[in-house]
Chain A
């Protein structure tokens, strides 16, 4: 919900969701183990891994999907012509396509976030790590002539998680909390064997009880 509200992600309705066209930039994957009734459920939030070697970027013919100077996987909606090649190339299936123009039932249209553009039909979208918050934080810090503090910027998902299961920070700062987590022995990357070099680190419990941090 926080993610949908922050990023103006439209809901597609029951019928379209049943067709697997829902747009959940962060998707909590559920994997079941064991035979009923002795079943355990494992959760794993999956969202854009902001790969350093992202398969989605080189395949885009119009540079709509590109690598920003800060290392994010940017998506420029105005350049996107909807080949959907990026979504096919993405091994994590975290890119969502606007099959129809977005609709907000009144009065929900009044709560749109003015910092985030609304995507029209035929355009690909995905998790941005709440780039509008990152930018706002950087501008604020620059205006106050200071460095960004670790944990000062929080994407909507991190901010709203009641159990602090996710942490956001600067991986290029070796002292940040995310860097320390990433160095810990528990850190693992989702589908790291594909060589996409994702920036998201998962900290599984014993085997791989999903969760944790970016």
Chain B
């Protein structure tokens, strides 16, 4: 068959890529082993968290799927960091993992432009350095202008459970070997990473009430008023489950220490590098001997799902050790382990092989997105998916690239970090990675990105109208706060000034009827948060904006494609090698390549200035 865009893999990256390209009007082939694992959650049954929640809001603001999907199928919602400042509020939700996959699959079914291509992808077909199509392992071949590879941990995946090793992409699914070979044949720099997952328990074998009564468990519930992920969600969300917090004890510690030689992580069986922010139980015990106990959360994987996810307990010890470790946890003496945790090693493509559109330097029309680029997390994968899908669509339609800057979106930070720095360990988003995070808040993701989504063709008319109304309300409300005077002490002052006082909240001013704001009933919290932040922290936000402006000349200075770094006199051989490999698109990117000295960047900048002026490629499009 002929497609414009083929997406290999239907995980969180793949579905966003396929959906975006389809919304842009491309004929999309979505190649997946099984429809049952669309948008699958092989690890924790949750979406969001610090910085990850920001990514989901941004995906949603651009017109992606993830926010809508989790709002539709979430079973417990929390806004993290509520007690801190507005720039680090971050939504997180437990998902009904089965419903989540079904919801996404159904959303894709509704897309007339998407055709399912069941089976195992084999070889990437090229012609004159460009993607020409995809050969399936069973012999079928499809032509395509662009291919987005989103194969997660499937490339030469190897699962470890104690001494037991077996090739697998995920639990119970065979890995991709031929595709791995095909990718490697183009000469991409590849590496090997490791990640892991905890054991799952039988929900019916745990007496939660007793655990709470005995003081072993602390019940954790969602927010009283859940905040949605998606700007389009208007219905009230409902918390349907609780989670339970418990702690490891000395017995767990002693058991791990006693069995440490059987851990593939510690006996040399695993070479791949794991994420530091998601340490295995073995790591926690061995590397932090001073910490008396570690937190464990029991999380239901769905309403009608019997499995309990043991968050914080990922390990690769032998099955029987895992079993005794579970039983060593307070309140879980009689719990039944449904399946053991495991570590998985997999190949990834070094992300410096990619440009900011996630298209590879080596093969035109070949995009990579998600865990194959060295990231971890559903949200990071989905964010790359939408970027790759959009740009595959733009390539097909011969439109200019779509790149978000670091001061525009966490998605911009994510992609920029990947393509300039590469990955030494699985990459996870943190708010501390975003140097302009004051500007990148969940309350303004729509203001930042929905106009782009509209221009790209991902935002429909209904959604656009709703957004436009919300933006108008925002502008009006900010103006009104500056204009309206309220009583303050003996005199009166502008409401905006009063709001800047410590401890003054906008909702109080509004509730007391002191400032008449235009607030939509189905959008109250968001309306208030955007306006309050814009006024209350105006000084900081202005300062941040001027920092962005100051750096922008250097930051946005374009480096033309194919720029001959070797011909810049005065650059060290290492600098030339790094630059030629990473192929930075701007001087800002060049400065972020590890090992680039300020002097080398200055030299490069000066030589760029001598080239004829190039396209005014400021802004995102």
A binds B: no
